[in-house]
Amino acid sequence: MKILVCISNVPDTTTKVKFTDNIKLDTAGIQWVINPWDELCLTRALELKDGNPGLIESVTVAHVGPVSSEPTIRKALAIGADSAIRVNAEPHDAYFVAAQLAEVIMEDYFDVVLCGIESSDFNGSTVGSMIAEFLQYSSVSAVSGINIENGEIIVTREIDGGKELLSLPLPFVAIAQKGITKEPRITAMRGIMMARSKPIKIFEPKEVKPLTEIVSYEMPSKKEACRFIDADKPGELIDILQNEEKII
């Protein structure tokens, strides 16, 4: 069984983003990282491989981005992915990215495709399910667990007020969130050394017209200063919430 984990290259989640002319991300000083949910997917894929050595043959990561995102790919290899694929293109929109990744999967077959529920930059939650539709694979979203029981993959899906355990035939795409593993795997020195010699296969993009385009960014409106209430007068706060804000 071959697992593919799709990874996105995003600014570190503590970054206070800024834009030039309301459209261009000011990249000065930005630390780029693997999208946190993708990192959890990669960790889980490696745990499954370690726990089922005969069953899972390899874990590959795939990324759509220019050569400047290679340090993030190398990090994924250092964490433990066996190989990587990079589609050499700017990731224009989710549709474009998903179409490129679907093409990669058509070329190099994978049984299980894992994608993070969203990327911390565009918060779209769309790429994984789009890949599945391009390929006519089944897909499960809101996945909080993937386990192998008696050689069969059992997926846990979050639903309102609970969870479902489900099975589905290969190949499929799982779009995963918090819960699939506890912590992202940390890179060890040995992993970093080994990553240098692992292959990154480059695909040239196929022609796909993006369906959406960001035309401008806006910053959240400046909020008024916090109004402090004396700790000895909690009744004052209740009164404000009840009579001024009218929300309780």
Three-class SS state of 106: helix
Pick the piece of the chain touching other proteins (CB under 8 A) from 41-49, 82-90, 133-141, 193-201.
Answer: 133-141
The residue from 20, 27, 88, 138 that contacts other proteins (CB under 8 A) is 138
> Please, how many CA atoms are within 13 Å of residue 196, restricted to the half-sphere of its CB?
4
In this chain, which stretch among 66-74, 79-87, 160-168, 194-202 interacts with other proteins, using CB under 8 A? 160-168
Task: Compare residues 141 and 187 and give the one whose CB is closer to other proteins.
Answer: 141
Q: Report if residue 129 touches other proteins, rule: CB under 8 A.
A: yes
Q: Which of residues 67-96 bind other proteins (CB under 8 A)?
A: 93-95
63, 69 Cβ separation under 8 angstroms? yes
Cβ at position 192, least distance to other proteins in Å:
25
- Maximum C-alpha span of the chain: 67
Q: Which of 199, 138, 200 is nearest to 172 (CA)?
A: 138
Pick from 26, 57, 107, 133: which binds other proteins (CB under 8 A)?
133
How far apart are CB 151 and other proteins at their closest, in Å?
15
Quote the least distance from Cβ 14 to other proteins, whole Å. 5
Counting residues that bind other proteins (by CB under 8 A) gives 89
> 3-state class of 193 per DSSP?
helix
- Binding map of other proteins across residues 10-49, x = CB under 8 A, - = no contact: -x-xxxxx-x----------------xx------------
Q: Which H helix or E strand runs over 134?
A: helix 127-135
Among 74, 91, 112, 134, binds other proteins (CB under 8 A): 134
Q: Which of 98, 92, 99, 172 is nearest to 139 (CA)?
A: 172
Query: What is the nearest approach in angstroms of other proteins to the Cβ of residue 29?
Result: 15
Residue 29's Cβ-count burial label (10 Å; 0-12, 13-18, 19+) is exposed
Q: Of residues 165-204, which lie at the interface with other proteins (CB under 8 A)?
A: 165-169, 172, 175, 177-179
Q: Is the Cα dihedral 31, 131, 110, 148 positive or negative?
A: positive
